[in-house]
Amino acid sequence: MSKEQLFIFDTTLRDGAQTQGVDFSVDDKLKIASALDNLGVDYIEGGWPGANPTDTEFFQKKHSFNNAKLTSFGMTKRTGRSADNDPGLSALLNSNTPAVCIVGKSWDFHVDIALGISNEENLENIKETAKHFVKENKEFMFDAEHFFDGYKANPSYALSCLKSAFDEGARWIVLCDTNGGTLPHEVTKIVTEVSKTIPGKNLGIHAHNDTGNAVANSLAAVWAGVRQVQGTINGLGERCGNANLMSLIPTFFLKEDFATNFQLKIKPDNIKKLTECSRLLDEILNRKPNKHLPYVGAAAFSHKGGLHVSAVQKNPKTYEHIDPVEVGNSRNIVVSDQSGKSNIISRLKTIGIEIEESDPKIKKLLDEVKDREFIGYSYDGADASFELLARRIISKIPRYILIKEYDVSVKKDSSGTIVSSAKAQLEVDGEKIMCTGEGNGPVNALDNAIRQNVDRLNKYSKYLKDLKLVDYKVRILNTGTEAITRVSIESTDSKGKNWFTIGVSANIIDASFKALVDSLDYKLFKDKAPASL
């Protein structure tokens, strides 16, 4: 059976740029476009030339993609102007892209309210715009804005908007669920009806995620006949985002019904690049990756429940819908109060500790984890603190740095400046050291007290110099009678592998200090700093 071709259209650089909090530079756009081209998508919508200097400059650059067609985006011509005379359309033509995607109204309510023109004028604008670009040999796509809402309100008018573009030679008519309120069964019904007027091979879907159904709606649309799917990396996009291509692409490759019926230009091996592609976008946006993204999130193949881990050890298929390696991701077994001994054994193996299943230390460690989680610790996000705890119970590990005493004060002077000072007495491998430091808050002062005096930690100084605290999070927990503070710290060093530690106490400074000292201890342990046990 021959497979039908599906076309992937990425709009991270256009609709993704409409996400609150996202502000791409030209350089960011170039990096993302290059990753998408390497992945092998069919179209990259680069932005809206003329709408802002970044997009204009991006289109002025020389692009040479191996796989993707660069596409410029804009809107239909304005009423009262000819297409030749519309500066918006000229900016798109000047951008010299092989493909052009034009948004236009297909809901009569919008024509009336947003544009304030007649239905006929809107049809004329769509038609003239399509004609203008087709005449210039552009691959023309019409993004039928609010198509599903428009079709529900006035089906014949919505269809005539599509036909106005299609009859002028549009290659693609893209049905947009602009407000994202349409549900999968409605998409199936409407796409099936539309395909009687416009062939499925010319139809696309652009789904927003306002009901959490953008991916489901895109799949429903493909199943009902459309052959172009629009979306973004990690589901970026206006409001709640767009369909997430990091979910759709692997689904097309790895789920039987789609894999047997469809083929993509993306090479099958390239889906191993999806996790990297997803993380690259977060890196560029300087935001923490969403661990829980399907397929590519760090927790997508994390197993926490004891029953799950016990079965996964026997065969990963028991709790994994695909092998994580297929999308460039990896399996992860976490330890927490939901664990059984299988979690502990598996985690220990990952960190290089081999132990007999019958060793009573496993039970001891499991009980310790559960008791600590009861008082506020949470080890499933604190791998380094877990490793230190495990090694202290199972084998031997030095306590490199011990805090004997500390004293922290906060002072506000008459100019309003607030300064925190800290003094700490540490015991470092048996030697007592006094440290002092200042900072913009008590925790920062304590951190500075230890680390600005790093030279005085004599034999450890060279190991701690490149340690950086990346993130610091505080949570107040109510455990029974009193409020408890949990502090989580993410650290990194020049080797670039981050580690996570945790501290819990009734006092925020004490909790912070515990998490900080675990971070220092872990760094010294992993870098094999010398110490007596």
Cα–Cα distance measured from residue 198 to residue 201, given in angstroms and rounded to the nearest whole number:
8
Residues 135-154 that bind ligand ACO (CB under 6 A): 145
Q: Residue 490 has which token pair?
A: 């993410």
- Name the residue nearer to ligand PYR (CB basis): 123 or 176: 176
Q: Take residue 75 and report the two structure tokens written for it.
A: 């809107």
Least Å distance, CB 77 to ligand PYR, is 16
Q: Any contact of residue 104 with ligand ACO (CB under 6 A)?
A: yes
From 33, 41, 92, 103, residue interacting with ligand ACO (rule: CB under 6 A): 103
Among 238, 276, 282, 493, binds ligand ACO (CB under 6 A): 238
From CA 137, how far away is CA 356, in angstroms rounded?
70
Q: Which of 5, 25, 52, 507 binds ligand ACO (CB under 6 A)?
A: 52
Is 214 or 362 the residue whose CB approaches ligand PYR more closely?
214
Binding mask 20-49 for ligand ACO (x = CB under 6 A): ----------------------------x-
Angle at 436 (CA atoms; ends 467, 430), nearest 5 degrees = 75
**Beta strands 468-479; 482-492: pairing state:** antiparallel
CA distance 302 to 319: 10
CB of 183 to ligand ACO, least distance (A): 19
- Per CB under 6 A, the segment of 25-33, 99-107, 213-221, 370-378 that binds ligand ACO is 99-107
- Least distance from ligand PYR to the Cβ atom of residue 453, Å: 55
Compare residues 15 and 139 and give the one whose CB is closer to ligand PYR: 15
CB closer to ligand PYR, 149 vs 383: 149
11, 76, 97, 329: which one contacts ligand ACO (CB under 6 A)?
76
Question: Shortest approach of ligand ACO to residue 171 CB, angstroms?
Answer: 19
- State in angstroms the smallest separation of the CB of 238 from ligand ACO: 6
Interactions with ligand ACO, residue window 108-137 (CB under 6 A): 114-115
Please identify the residue of the shown chain whose CB is closest to the bound ligand PYR: 176
**What does 115 interact with, of ligand ACO, ligand PYR, none (CB < 5 to 8 A by kind)?**
ligand ACO
Token digits of residue 383? 């791998």
Residue with tokens 């410029």, as numbered in its chain: 72
Tell me how far CA of residue 142 lies from CA of 73, 101, 133, 165, 328, in angstroms: 10, 6, 11, 7, 34
CB 255 to ligand ACO: min, Å? 29
For 261-328, give the DSSP string. Answer: HEEESS-GGGGGGHHHHHHHHHHHHT----TT-TTTSTTTTEE-SHHHHHHHHH-GGGT-SS-GGGGT
To the nearest whole angstrom, how small is the minimum distance from the Cβ of residue 18 to ligand ACO? 6
- Residue 485's nearest CA partner among 494, 495, 474, 493 is 474
Q: Supply 371's token pair.
A: 């008791």
User: In this structure, are strands 4-10 and 262-264 parallel, antiparallel, or unpaired?
Assistant: parallel
Place of tokens 């497979």: 3
Q: State the minimum distance, in angstroms, from the CB of residue 178 to ligand PYR.
A: 4
For residues 532 and 527, give the distance between their C-alpha atoms in angstroms, rounded to a whole number: 15
Q: If contact means CB under 5 to 8 A according to the sort of partner, which of ligand ACO, ligand PYR, none does residue 334 touch?
A: none
Least Å distance, CB 122 to ligand ACO, is 8
- Give which of 162, 228, 172, 231 is closest to 193, Cα–Cα: 162
Name the residue nearer to ligand PYR (CB basis): 178 or 329.
178
Write out the DSSP string of 369-432: HHHHHHTT--GGG-HHHHHHHHHHHHS-----EEEEEEEEEEEE-TTS-EEEEEEEEEEETTEE
Binding residues for ligand PYR, rule: CB under 6 A, are 15, 103, 143, 145, 176, 178, 206, 208
Question: Could you tell which of ligand PYR, ligand ACO, none binds residue 206, using a CB distance below 5 to 8 A set by kind?
Answer: ligand PYR
Q: How many residues bind ligand ACO (CB under 6 A)?
A: 16
Rounded Cα–Cα distance for residues 72 and 100 (Å): 5
In angstroms, give the least distance from the CB of 161 to ligand PYR: 13
Q: What are phi and psi of 255, to 5 degrees?
A: -100, 130
Answer whether 484's CB lies under 8 Å from 505's CB: yes
Is the Cβ of residue 92 or residue 408 nearer to ligand ACO in the bound state? 92
Binding flag, residue 78, ligand ACO (CB under 6 A): yes
- Minimum Å gap between C-beta 154 and ligand PYR is 17
Select from 16, 100, 105, 531 the one that contacts ligand ACO (CB under 6 A): 105
Could you tell me the two tokens for 337? 């109060």
The footprint of ligand ACO on residues 154-193 (CB under 6 A) is: 178
Beta bridge partners of 486: 475, 504
Residues that bind ligand ACO (CB under 6 A): 15, 18, 48, 51-52, 75-76, 78, 103-105, 114-115, 145, 178, 238
